[in-house]
Amino acid sequence: MLTAGGYQVPAPDDSTAALDTARHHDERIDLLLTDVVMPHLLGTALAGQVTAMYPETKVLFISGYATPVLAAHGTIGPDVTLLERPFTRTHLIAAVHEAMHGDSPEATSRR
């Protein structure tokens, strides 16, 4: 869905591979899109390690769990950007744009 939206997207299979990809990536990483709950590392731990390597990297979390459930279990904090599943391609592209640029695509197109 993201490559169809014009983004370059390496897609590691799991959090361990994602860390390896980040460690060996030659260019900046604009956005980390990660699930909240994954094997090996939670998305928040992955995000912490990636942003330690690339402080300018924005993070967008996705999850099938509702935000209140994640927050109640301490899985995510109040300042995270979360896209809840299920979502459409349009919602994903809009969330990525907002995470990277701080506004919606519609606001950008009106400028």
The residues near 95 (Cβ < 8 Å, ≥ 6 apart) are: 60, 81, 83, 87
Whether 20 is covered by a domain: the verdict is no
Whether 80 is covered by a domain: the verdict is yes
Q: Identify the weakest region by mean pLDDT among 7-11, 30-34, 103-107.
A: 103-107
Whether 50 is covered by a domain: the verdict is yes
Whether 103 is covered by a domain: the verdict is no
Structure tokens given for 50: 């990636």
DSSP 46-105: HHHHHHHH-TT-EEEEEESS-HHHHHHTTSS-TT--EEESS--HHHHHHHHHHHHHSS-H
Q: Identify the weakest region by mean pLDDT among 25-29, 51-55, 70-74, 90-94.
A: 70-74
**Above 60 in pLDDT, residue 37?**
yes
The model's confidence at residue 82, banded by pLDDT at 50, 70 and 90, is confident
Whether 13 is covered by a domain: the verdict is no
Whether 76 is covered by a domain: the verdict is yes
Residue 76 belongs to what domain range? 36-98
Whether 85 is covered by a domain: the verdict is yes
**Above 80 in pLDDT, residue 62?**
yes
The model's confidence at residue 5, banded by pLDDT at 50, 70 and 90, is confident
Looking at the 3D structure of the chain, how many domains does it have? 1
